[in-house]
């Protein structure tokens, strides 16, 4: 079965989306995202607000820390205070999403190292630049991180407890951003990061840009009698729910995330019978997974709406795992797929 390109853009330094049409499915037209992907990526990659005076140091940051408990599938939140003695000039992000945010709002000479996943094109939208710039460390190489002499390390909820403890023992200042997955929590984290590093104006400009681009994207979407129901089906049969970034991506473009519709909070595993019962209009699967072939050839799913209509699409993993302002790229791409409206 021949592959065809979902969209083309000679300036887009990201992975191209590949999809395989079914015979007679009627979906051989090449859809384009509503907004120019290359231009959107450039705008989200470098944001500067109004010039601001260097604020007072030390400073006390008060924030809400959110943690997800995978065992109980629940969230807990607590108020915290963080005191930073001086403006951090040697910063290391321990997660891809944080690195992508800092890349856009922080002077880049202040970023002294990146973890291996930020240099991986399957995980990061800035991988090409990071590979050229470096240095790069593996996520568990705490000693190497300490050797870079950072005055601040940003960690997240999945940064290992051993990594965090070694930073503490070495008296390396660190800030745990906790969990964030929705677009609203993402904007809160951008403002929080901006306050910690002394780049509040840039952070505010980024949040304003996100809101502006969401509005521009929505204006280009077609009106429908009912929203498109989309299921993201990952390897192992896992689907994302209410608190996932995929749910926010769907909300941005007026689509229904079927996992959230069915009451899933974070992630849950489903079988083919459940998938058929939920019967989504569109199924999204990660590329390089062989999942499209498996779903399209399965007898149980032969009567599923998305399978019958050939509406099962491969999407590069970087768009599905995004946890930064580049979520707008994912929303733009998904809109091009599910609405199939050429620009």
Phi, psi of 77 (to 5 degrees): -135, 140
Please report whether residue 324 resides in a domain: yes
pLDDT of residue 22: 38
Q: Quick check: is 208 in a domain?
A: no
Q: For the domain that residue 227 is a member of, what is the CATH number?
A: 3.40.50.1980
Closest among 328, 305, 341 to 230, alpha carbons compared:
305
Closest CA to 156 of 198, 118, 207: 118
List, for residues 291-326, the tens digit of each pLDDT value: 999 999 999 999 999 999 999 999 999 999 999 999
- Do 254 and 328 lie in one domain? The reply is yes
Angle at 186 between CA 107 and CA 195, to 5 degrees: 45
Q: pLDDT confidence of 16, banded at 50, 70, 90? A: very low
Q: What is the pLDDT of residue 19?
A: 38
Q: What pLDDT is attached to residue 4?
A: 35
Query: Which of these three, 145, 162, 197, is where a domain ends?
Result: 197
| Residue 3 pLDDT > 60 | no
According to the model, what pLDDT value does residue 70 have? Answer: 64
Strands (E), 157-302: 174-176, 229-232, 238-240, 256-257, 267-269, 282-286
Is the pLDDT at 327 greater than 80, yes or no? Answer: yes
**What is the per-residue pLDDT for 97?**
95
pLDDT averaged over the chain?
88
Whether 190 and 302 map to the same domain: the answer is: no
Q: Given pLDDT bands bounded at 50, 70 and 90, which one contains residue 30? A: low
Among 197, 230, 261, residue at a domain's last position: 197
Q: What is the pLDDT of residues 127-176, one digit of tens each?
A: 999 999 999 999 888 999 999 999 999 998 778 888 989 999 999 999 99
Using alpha carbons, list the distances in angstroms from residue 121 to 141, 212, 324.
21, 27, 15
Q: How many separate domains does the chain show?
A: 2
Share of the chain above pLDDT 70, in %: 88
The string of pLDDT tens digits covering residues 189-211 is 999 999 999 999 999 999 999 99
- pLDDT of 331 over the 60 cut: yes
For residue 135, whether the previous peptide bond is cis, meaning omega lies within 30 degrees of 0, is: yes
Tell whether 257 and 306 lie within a shared domain.
Answer: yes
What does the radius of gyration of the chain's CA atoms come to, in whole angstroms?
A: 21
Name the pLDDT band for 53 (thresholds 50, 70, 90): confident
pLDDT value for 27: 47
The rounded distance, in Å, linking the Cα atoms of 256 and 229 is 5
- How confident is the model over 254-264, as pLDDT tens digits? 999 999 999 99
Residues 188 and 233 in one domain: no
**pLDDT grade, residue 54 (50/70/90)?**
confident
Range(s) of the domain holding residue 296: 4-39+222-339
Residue that the structure tokens 């000479």 belong to? 109
């Amino acid at each position: 079965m021949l592959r065809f390109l979902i969209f083309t853009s000679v300036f887009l330094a990201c992975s191209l989306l590949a999809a395989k049409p079914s015979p007679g499915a009627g979906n051989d037209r090449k859809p384009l995202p509503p907004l120019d992907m290359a231009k959107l990526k450039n705008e989200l990659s470098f944001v500067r607000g109004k010039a601001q005076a260097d604020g007072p140091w030390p400073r006390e940051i008060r924030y809400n820390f959110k943690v997800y408990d995978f065992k109980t599938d629940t969230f807990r939140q607590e108020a915290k205070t963080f005191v930073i003695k001086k403006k951090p000039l040697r910063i290391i992000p321990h997660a891809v999403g944080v690195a992508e945010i800092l890349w856009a709002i922080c002077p880049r000479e202040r970023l002294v190292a990146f973890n291996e996943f930020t240099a991986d094109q399957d995980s990061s939208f800035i991988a090409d630049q990071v590979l050229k710039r470096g240095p790069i460390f593996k996520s568990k190489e705490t000693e190497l991180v300490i050797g870079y002499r950072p005055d601040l390390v940003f960690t997240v909820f999945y940064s290992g407890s051993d990594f965090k403890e070694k930073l503490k023992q070495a008296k390396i200042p660190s800030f745990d951003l906790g969990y964030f997955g929705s677009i609203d929590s993402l904007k809160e984290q951008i403002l929080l990061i901006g306050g910690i590093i002394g780049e509040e104006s840039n952070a505010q400009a980024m949040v304003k840009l996100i809101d502006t681009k969401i509005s521009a994207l929505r204006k280009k979407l077609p009106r429908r009698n009912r929203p498109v129901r989309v299921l993201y089906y990952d390897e192992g049969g896992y689907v994302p729910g209410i608190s996932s970034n995929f749910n926010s991506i769907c909300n941005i473009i007026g689509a229904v995330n079927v996992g959230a519709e069915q009451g899933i909070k974070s992630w849950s595993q489903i079988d083919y019978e459940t998938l058929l019962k939920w019967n989504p209009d569109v199924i999204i699967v990660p590329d390089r997974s062989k999942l499209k072939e498996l779903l399209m050839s399965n007898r149980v799913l032969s009567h599923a709406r998305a399978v019958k209509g050939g509406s099962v699409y491969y999407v590069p993993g970087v768009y599905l795992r995004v946890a930064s302002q580049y979520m707008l790229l994912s929303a733009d791409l998904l809109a091009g797929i599910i609405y199939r409206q050429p620009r």
